[in-house]
Structure 1
Amino acid sequence: MVNVGVAVAGAVLALVGLGTPAAARPVAVALPAVDMEAVLKAAQIDPRRADSAITPGSGESVRLVERALADRGLLAATYVDGHFGTRTVDAYAAYQRSLGYTGLDASGLPGPTSLRLLGETTYAVTRVVSAGSRVTYRSASMNTRTKAMLVEAERLLGRSLGITQGSYNPGGVPGSAGTHDGGGALDVSVSGMTAATRTTVARVLRQVGFAAWVRTPAQGFDYHIHAIALGDPDLSTGAQHQAGDYYLGFNGLADRGADDGPVVTPKLTWEEYQRL
């Protein structure tokens, strides 16, 4: 009499190839890893560089992304170099458009879905960064990643912060140069704060992963703190440029003057801060 359990088990083994001699079985090969945090950092910094230097820690991940773009005919092989410059940004934006993305979703800044689809057969994405969903906090629009950063800054400061302009606000306050069109951008009220307190708030915002500057009347603004969440995949093009300039020691304004904010070393993203 045939044992039914044995027969079924044998059939399953045959179907999955486990009855095949070991030498004939296909060997699973691990795909190389693309570190999304590193790619996002390079995509913010490299287009703002005066040279083609590679952002430390990002080179191999960026090269894998560039190679995938080149394989699709979107990037010349000469630019598969680990530098996420303007040619790579343009190529990545073209790839995003090929997926049907438009506007903010086709800015050339990699998002988790497009990055995964681009490397489906050539790399695996690690340290995935998500902006999260859109929410309202302190009466302002932002994403859940930015809200978490702001909540942590408030905890460290021991005070609530008023937001005069949030994110996802296309055509918002004049003079913002489109930086609030996407995610990760906030203007913080400094009403009633002393100069020393304004500096402290900017410092703490920087500590948790914002590029943050105190804007002044001498610069053509009412006093406020302008903050950009580093590494947010929903950043508008203008906000991407400000994030890159912050890393490179500039003030985030059109004149690209020296950074006039409090010194925070190292400059961390929210994810890096959380790993401390």
Structure 2
Amino acid sequence: MRTKVAVLTALIALTVAAPAQAGAATTALPAVSMEAVLKAAQIDPRRADSTQTPGAHDGVLLVEQALNAKGLLDPKYVDGYFGTTTITAYSQYQKSLGYTGIDASGLPGKTSLEKLGASRFTVTAVISAGSHVTYHGVTLNARTKAMLVAAEGLLGSQVGLTQGSYNPGGVDASAGTHDGGGAFDVSVAGLSAAARTNIAKNLRKVGFAAWVRTPSQGDWGYHVHAIALSDPDLSSGAQHQAGDYYLGYNGLADHGADDGPAVTPKLTWEEYQRG
């Protein structure tokens, strides 16, 4: 009797242990932070050197390895630097999925990242532009509206908008920056220089690249131009302006020094929300 009991006990122990051992043998996929990869995709292509965006190397490397596996990126560019060559490769991947226009700009989005990472990596820290909404008479996306509402809260007043997002073929002087999401212009008619600067400063605090544009800079009147950092719907032009902002430039064709109000550190909307 004791022998039978001992055998049964051993069999039960093996049955319980087997699933645990099988689970332990399963290797979890590495994670790619969409937030970090998006930041690198904005900044790295605008750098004059190959300095990598802090905190983005591991995720960018996984993305580049996946692009290489699909024959879209030469192995010598699989280095954790999301430069122009990687942007082009990612754009080609997006086009292979049937995307066009701003959806194939080379800026990673949630759906394309998840498809690229199938069986290779998972996607975390997802950023969504959200649905298109109307605010102050112009079209924005939900993320941009939330950011602007927060900035207006800091200002203690609302602003007027003269141009919004998703506006292809809009103002010629905008050079396509309003074709996608995350972009708008603020009317500053009748405001003092200090008031104009204060608007740009509070927009920067919540995650916008924002500058006071002047008539001497182009074919336009005084206004504040804003681009939502890390908006996955940014047009290529807006993407370049976001990168320039991080690197201390004015976002114009002359690639001049940033002439906007200093805000340190330069935060995205998600970073601002985390405090």
For normalisation by structure 1, the TM-score amounts to 0.91
Q: Return closer, same or farther for 1:75/1:160 CA change in 2, 3 Å cut-off.
A: same
Hey, what does 1:6 align to over in structure 2? Answer: none
Query: Aligned partners of 2:19 and 2:116: how far apart in 1?
Result: 35
Q: Return closer, same or farther for 1:147/1:25 CA change in 2, 3 Å cut-off.
A: closer
Query: Aligned partners of 2:19 and 2:59: how far apart in 1?
Result: 37
Query: Aligned partners of 1:264 and 1:103: how far apart in 2?
Result: 33
Hey, what does 1:195 align to over in structure 2? Answer: 193
Which of residues 170, 174, 197 is equivalent to 2:168? Answer: 170
Hey, what does 1:235 align to over in structure 2? Answer: 234
More helix by share: 2
Hey, what does 2:67 align to over in structure 1? Answer: 69
Determine helix, strand or coil for the equivalent of 1:121.
Answer: coil
**Where in structure 2 are the equivalents of 1:213-224 lying within 5 Å?**
213-220=211-218, 221-224=220-223
Shift in Å, 1:22: 5.1
Query: Aligned partners of 1:102 and 1:232: how far apart in 2?
Result: 17
Query: Aligned partners of 2:157 and 2:232: how far apart in 1?
Result: 28
Q: Residue 94 of structure 2 aligns to which amino acid in structure 1?
A: Q
Hey, what does 2:259 align to over in structure 1? Answer: 260
Shift in Å, 1:250: 0.3
Query: Aligned partners of 2:20 and 2:233: how far apart in 1?
Result: 47
Shift in Å, 1:124: 1.0
Hey, what does 1:89 align to over in structure 2? Answer: 87
Shift in Å, 1:59: 0.6
Aligned: 1:273 with 2:272: yes
Shift in Å, 1:120: 1.5
Shift in Å, 1:23: 4.5
Q: Cα deviation per residue 1:121-170 (whole Å; 9 max; x = unaligned)?
A: 11111110000000100000010000000000111111011010000000
**Where in structure 2 are the equivalents of 1:18-167 lying within 5 Å?**
20=18, 23=21, 27-167=25-165
Hey, what does 2:4 align to over in structure 1? Answer: none
Q: Residue 88 of structure 1 aligns to which amino acid in structure 2?
A: T
Query: Aligned partners of 1:232 and 1:107: how far apart in 2?
Result: 12
Query: Aligned partners of 2:21 and 2:83: how far apart in 1?
Result: 45
Hey, what does 1:225 align to over in structure 2? Answer: 224
Query: Aligned partners of 2:178 and 2:22: how far apart in 1?
Result: 57
Shift in Å, 1:27: 2.5
Percent same amino acid at aligned positions? 70
Determine helix, strand or coil for the equivalent of 1:142.
Answer: strand
Query: Aligned partners of 1:247 and 1:94: how far apart in 2?
Result: 26
Query: Aligned partners of 1:28 and 1:193: how far apart in 2?
Result: 62
Determine helix, strand or coil for the equivalent of 2:134.
Answer: strand
Query: Aligned partners of 1:216 and 1:23: how far apart in 2?
Result: 67
Unaligned runs of 5+ in 1: 1-16
Hey, what does 1:11 align to over in structure 2? Answer: none
Query: Aligned partners of 2:145 and 2:79: how far apart in 1?
Result: 35
Q: Cα deviation per residue 1:234-253 (whole Å; 9 max; x = unaligned)?
A: 00000000000000000000
Hey, what does 2:12 align to over in structure 1? Answer: none
Shift in Å, 1:28: 2.5
For normalisation by structure 2, the TM-score amounts to 0.92
Shift in Å, 1:192: 2.2
Q: Return closer, same or farther for 1:121/1:163 CA change in 2, 3 Å cut-off.
A: same
Query: Aligned partners of 2:190 and 2:144: how far apart in 1?
Result: 24
Shift in Å, 1:29: 1.6
Q: Cα deviation per residue 1:107-129 (whole Å; 9 max; x = unaligned)?
A: 00000110111002111111100
Q: Residue 58 of structure 1 aligns to which amino acid in structure 2?
A: A
Number of residue pairs matched by the alignment: 260
Query: Aligned partners of 1:168 and 1:160: how far apart in 2?
Result: 22
Query: Aligned partners of 1:104 and 1:25: how far apart in 2?
Result: 42
Query: Aligned partners of 2:94 and 2:16: how far apart in 1?
Result: 40
Task: Please identify, of 191-200 and 18-27, the stretch whose mean Cα deviation from structure 2 is larger.
Answer: 18-27
Query: Aligned partners of 1:234 and 1:45: how far apart in 2?
Result: 16
